[in-house]
Structure 1
Amino acid sequence: MEAFGEIAILIGVAAVVSGVMRLLRQPLIIGYILTGLLVGPFLFNVIHSQEILNLFSEIGISFLLFIVGLSLTPTVIRRFGRIALLTSIGQVFATLLVILVIALLLGFPPLTAIYLGIALAFSSTIIVLKLLSDKKDFESLYGKIAVGFLLVQDFIALFLLFFLPLASVEQENATIVSVRFIIGILLAVVIFFLASYSFKKLSSALSRSQEFLFLFSIAWGLGVAAVFKYLGLSPEAGALLAGVSLSTLPWHHEVAARLKPLRDFFIILFFIFLGSKLSITELPNLLVPALIFSAVVLLGKPLILMAIMGLEGYRKKTGFQIGLLAAQISEFSLILVALGVKLGHLDASVLSLTTLVGLLTIFGSTYLILYTEKLYPLLRTPLSIFERKKVRREGAHSSRYSCILFGYNRIGYDFLKTFLDAHRSFLVVDYDPEVIDELEKKKFPYVFGDASDIELLETLPIDKATTIISTIPDLETNLLILRHSRNRNRNALIMLVAHNINEALLLYREGADYVIMPHFLGGKYASLLMKRLNFKKGKDSEELKHEHLDYLRKRREAGHEHPVPEKLHLS
């Protein structure tokens, strides 16, 4: 059968298996790997054009890493810099050591044990971001820390992908290693120079045509990967570096969004290719080590992360949520091991073992992440060992406040100004480190924490407040605040935020006194302004304009941004 027909059958089988996975509510990535197993040489043996499938999977990896690189903006990591670095590096090294010892005890060669330790230490950016998106938890404290934590891991993976091909050169050719290393560094400098200076100057011209921007992005990502491969370096590192180089340009979100469907198609073929390489005959020999390594990933990685989060003074629930997010291996794990096989460092059975661990951990962690809220109450008491008596960063505050404000940024900024003008005592609850630093500088009372944590709410003086305001745009969190507050204080004025009518009506039914709907409220306020200006341009409209400009400049100086409707969420 010709290659065209094989690919058509492959996609058809993938669609059927994925449909079954959706009905069973399983991750689609497992369906893709199972498709590869079904069409591979050990079952129906449909695939004969291995070279074409391998080429497509390489293109898929390049697109995947290019898009991951586009999200590696320094500001994302800087925002939760300390905790992102500590959790990521601490967890990677601790897991590496545990896996290394276990692999050596199981009789694996030292180099294989090192590869397994490195590969299984990483967690999946793609899967975690997809599940955070499904749960709408990107704006939560644990969600934001997780993004920083995963992006630090992606940077570590970038260095590994860069140096691994150099390690394949024999010792007597040390000169070749040095030359390749220097070439790689010079190439990286040239790439970032082009992106930082040439592309920035041409930014408006590049983004003028959406089709040209799409084509340019593909050419840049695959082109840099091809140059790296031609020079004997890792094409995977080239693709990731190409994405990172464009991450500071204004249109990087748009590029990532437009490339996602193309990436998804080729990535499906990559996982099918991996599944086709999974040897059924070796499964009995691989099952025991796969189960042991999977147990370390599913249980060990969360425990390591909870310990680090606890030492840093975070609450046990935040540590628990972060820990479960990391309880699987990464797409980088499979890419690194596949690269090790290609370089001759590893036997092909190690890729089968890693793929099997991937199947087990992706399957298990998906359920752990989706049912975090149900698992936490059952484990709350034993998890107390991961929480210090004094939790992280609480500004000096008393036991009584007139107003409690959940969320300072954006809408909360105006409320705070009103409290100060009215000489009302207030307490701010927020989890953004930049906001906390600002409140600390201004000596305003605050509590650092996530409002979705019931244990945090129990520590707040809600029963003595006259006004409780939440500017958090999450229905579940607002319902929790509302119900908890009403149970402790039936007389407080409670104002919450909603972004659609059904949510607003639900909050009113639950006992809210007023629900702020920013878009509707903005429209109503604008219509009142129009009436005040008597529908004419004149002195009053100029004064209003300059007043608004001053207000916007102050908000920009404070680092406030209007939420972007659809930012890059890898899924």
Structure 2
Amino acid sequence: IVVLKLLSDKRETQRLYGKIAIGMTLVEDIAAAVVILLLIARDEAGGFALGALVFLAFKGLLAGLIIYQFSQKVLILPSLQKTVANSQEFLFLSAISWGFGIAVLFEQIGFSQEVGALFAGICLASLPYAQEVSSRLRPLRDFFIVLFFITLGSQLHLDAVGEMLPVILMGLAVVVLLKPIVALIIVSLAGYTKQTSFKAAAMLGQAGEFSIIFIGLALSRNLISEQLLTAMTVIALVSIATSTYIITYLDKIYKRLEEQLQIFERDKARPDADRKKRYDLVLFGYQKGGHEFLRAFVQLKRPYVVVDYDPEMIEVMEHKKIHCIFGDAADPELLEEIGLENAKLIVSVMSDRNTNMLVLDWLNHHNPDAAFICMADTPKEATELYELGASYVMLPHFIGSEKVSSFVRRSRLSKTEFDAYRQKHIEHLKSHDNILDEPARPKNHKKLGHTIVENIAELTKVKSTKPKS
């Protein structure tokens, strides 16, 4: 969890080396969970009862299968998703209840609470609103990290440190030096570049949380002494502190050691495709006019994503194969996760003034060259957004009145003209239910969303660097 927090703080969880490091720590946790399972199955005579071990494994597989199927079949039901995801507080409480509930259930069938909590997180990771859950749980995660270190400190007996100093030094050498070197060799042999291999390996120079759990469980069964627990606590604290500084100054350390790491460079290394997915076009909100902008995005044939906080709309878009993400536009971490700093055009069809101002302020600091189109309810709000730097602010009532009044002037007050315009509008409204399957409109048929997006796109196009002939 310490590695994940440091990567999250550096905004590098989506980098290639970050993914490799997280994957390797997950393998470590799974291996530790298996060892804990063996320790739980150990009988009082000191051996392993095969029958008890098989029965415990069977219970774990059965419970895990039932819980996983429940999470995939029941927790993704549209009605339940709507109930849970519509309220941020209820989403937070539901995730916490799920984690604690599965942890207690696993403890009742003979496993540890930590193994149950790990499995609960795996189940939540595949749900549509997993990203939002992760964002909401971050403050609680940081709080429990503090408690984790308080617990480690309370287990430390300074009188035993001198006695166990040789064990502590040997343990630190294995964890801080030998473990990263072995990981560096493994990742390098897998075909990755020296930079990716070094950075991924440097993330592993610390004792895992499950090692503390394992040592504590062994102490509760009188298999080790309290001195060994103290030694393991010191190793964990020192290795975590050392690893924190290494990760913080990882780029500088790599530059110092770049020449010495040349032996780990492969002739045919895998490309470092470690950048987060880039979206040139981002749409916040699917309803209230988002359909037209989405149609324009598709026709522009540029990478796009739609962000919406309504689970029903997410379900509709997933059914139509629209690339979408469930999340709150007011969450700065979500803006970073979708790579908004690389976007060329951002459109918000939400009329919430505070949310639009938050997004606009974020863009002013991280992507001032992007064009931002948003919506406002009143002329005063529109003026405020323009003053903050919005490229265009839509006033639905003003635009609708302007368009209708223009038609009135052209209609010569003919009832036939009004009937034709009425029929045309009805057909357009019906087309919103199947916008992606509809044939392309004639070039001279421009809607508001098309016109705005195409004009802004022209302004934001990257000029070609191809030399003139």
- Settle same-fold status: TM greater than 0.5: yes
Paired position in structure 2 for 1:501: 364
Post-superposition offset of 1:284:
0.9
Cα distance change of structure 1 residues 408 and 547 upon mapping to structure 2, 3 Å threshold:
farther
Query: Counterpart of 1:365?
Result: 243
Which residue of structure 2 lines up, in the alignment, with residue 200 of structure 1?
A: 76
Q: Residue deviations 1:164-202, cap 9 Å, x none?
A: 312356448543333333222222222223222233333
Residues 226 and 157 (structure 1), Cα distance of their counterparts in 2 relative to 1, 3 Å cut: same
User: For the residues of structure 1 that align with 2:400 and 2:189, how far apart are their CA atoms?
Assistant: 56
AA partner of residue 9 (structure 2)? D
Amino acid across the alignment from 2:363: N
| Distance of aligned partners of 1:393 and 1:206 in 2 relative to their CA distance in 1, 3 Å threshold | closer
Amino acid at match of 1:148: G
Q: Determine the structure 1 residue equivalent to 2:186.
A: 308
Aligned equivalent of 2:59, options 175, 178, 183: 183
Per-residue CA deviations over 1:132-177 (Å, capped at 9, x if unaligned) read 2222223433233333333343333443444431235644854333
- Give yes or no for contact 1:214–1:259 (8 Å, CA) kept in 2: yes
Matches within 5 A, 1:77-88: none
**Conserved 8 A contact 1:168-1:343:** no
1:150 maps to which residue?
25
Cα distance in 2 between the residues matched to 1:136 and 1:265: 19
Is 1:296 the equivalent of 2:174? yes
CA gap 1:407/1:349 in 2 versus in 1, 3 angstroms: closer
Of the three residues 269, 272, 275, the one matched with 2:150 is 272
Tell me the distance in 2 between the aligned counterparts of 1:239 and 1:418.
Answer: 43
Provide the secondary structure at the position in 1 that maps to 2:224.
coil
Partner of 1:410: 279
Contact 1:311 1:387 in 2 (8 A): no
Matched residue of 1:187: which SS?
A: helix
1:147 maps to amino acid: I
SS in 2 for 1:199: coil
Correspondence for 1:167: 42
1:330 alignment partner in structure 2: 208
The match for 2:115 among 237, 240, 247 is: 237
| Structure possessing the higher relative contact order (Cα contacts under 8 Å, 6 or more residues apart) | 1
The Cα of 1:531 is off from its aligned counterpart by: 8.2
Distance 1:136 1:259, change over 3 A: closer
* Pairing 1:475-490 to 2, within 5 Å after superposition: none
In 2, Cα distance between equivalents of 1:394 and 1:232: 43
Judge conservation of contact 1:169–1:176 (CA < 8 Å) in 2: no
Closer, same or farther: CA 525–542 of 1 in aligned 2, 3 Å: farther
Residue 204 of structure 1 aligns with an amino acid whose one-letter code is: K
| 1:127 corresponds to | 2
Q: What pairs with 1:96-111 in structure 2 (closer than 5 Å)?
A: none
CA 1:517/1:346 → structure 2, altered by over 3 Å: closer, same or farther? farther
C-alpha root-mean-square deviation of aligned residues, in Å? 4.4
1:187 aligned partner, one-letter code: A
Task: Note the residue ranges of structure 1 that are not aligned, 5 or more in a row.
Answer: 1-125, 396-405, 420-470, 476-497, 506-514, 553-571
Query: Could you say if the C-alpha distance between residues 216 and 156 of structure 1 is closer, same or farther in structure 2, counting changes exceeding 3 Å?
Result: same
1:235 offset after TM fit, Å? 2.2
Report which stretch shifted further, 371-380 or 146-155. 146-155
1:228 aligns with one of 88, 106, 110: 106
Is 1:381 aligned to 2:259, yes or no?
Answer: yes
- The amino acid that maps onto 2:149 is F
State the 1:283 CA deviation.
Answer: 0.6
Q: Confirm whether residue 550 of structure 1 aligns to residue 425 of structure 2.
A: no
C-alpha contact 1:290 1:353 (8 A) present in aligned 2? yes
> Conserved in 2, the CA contact under 8 Å of 1:294 and 1:361?
yes
The 8 Å contact of residues 76 and 127 in structure 2, kept in 1 or not, is answered as yes
Q: CA deviation at 1:242?
A: 2.4
Query: 5 Å matches for 1:38-57?
Result: none
